[in-house]
Amino acid sequence: MKLTNADKNKISQLARNISTHSKGGHGKCLEDFLAKKFSFPKYEQYKEGMDFPKEIVEQGKNVPSEWVMDWEVKFYNIKTNCIVLGELENKIKHIKKGFALVIGFYDGDPSNIVDIKFIKMQASSKLLKDCELWKGLRKFVHDRTNPLEKTREVVKDLNKKAVSPFRVLNISSRPRFSQSLNRMLGEARQVSLSLNVKNLALL
């Protein structure tokens, strides 16, 4: 997406006005910019939904017809290597449906945006096969009869063998004490889907 100086100034102002501790962090400033840029109506965002569902995007103004679909918005430092797309099962569901991944890149500080890329996430036959493999992997990780270290080894091994721009992240955690909650937290099993930035051109 070609950004004008006016666009960059708007995003910069939005970034300065948003606290990193606010819901959505600095990524919210990119969502706000896109909502204003394309005149999207306000709506209640659901936890597992897209940032901008298709029914919201199609009500916007000057949205190219090829991008009238669900939008998932990410905002990252341009020097980052990995873009975390979110919880694996949820992302598989949306990949099968198809959506636009909108990534904003900033240089050093969120107020210094340099580019916004629109990428179509569509389910090819190869990707659908990967999705089935990932679903089995997620089931393995969530099965608590499998030791946590073993699940990490299996995920690491699959990523090494995978011929795909995507990678699976095993972000499970051991029982731990939470300083903020002042109590022990139990073992958590969670798997996310990620995308290596250098592989964006493969999509």
Contact (CB, 8 A) for 18 and 30: no
Look at the block and give the residue holding tokens 């950004």.
3
What single-letter amino acid sits at 168? V
pTM of the model: 0.85
Q: Which long-range contacts (CB under 8 A, 24 or more apart) does 30-39 make?
A: 30/73, 30/75, 30/102, 30/104, 30/113, 30/116, 31/73, 33/7, 34/71, 34/73, 34/102, 36/10, 37/7, 38/62, 38/63
**pLDDT (average), residues 87-96:** 93
Using CB atoms within 10 Å of the CB of residue 70, give its burial: 0 to 12 exposed, 13 to 18 middle, 19+ buried: buried
Give me the mean pLDDT over the 171-177 stretch: 92
Contacts 24+ apart (CB under 8 A), 150-159: 151/189, 155/191, 158/133
Confidence class for position 21, pLDDT limits 50, 70, 90: very low
Residues 6+ apart with CB under 8 A from 55: none
Dist CA 49 CA 99 (whole Å):
11
What pLDDT, on the 0 to 100 scale, is given for residue 62?
92
Residue count (the chain): 203
pLDDT at 7: 85
Query: How far is Cα 197 from Cα 115, in angstroms, rounded to an integer?
Result: 13
pLDDT in tens, 181-194: 889 898 999 999 99
Whole-number pLDDT of residue 46: 64
Average of per-residue pLDDT across 3-31: 75
Quick check: 22 pLDDT over 60?
no
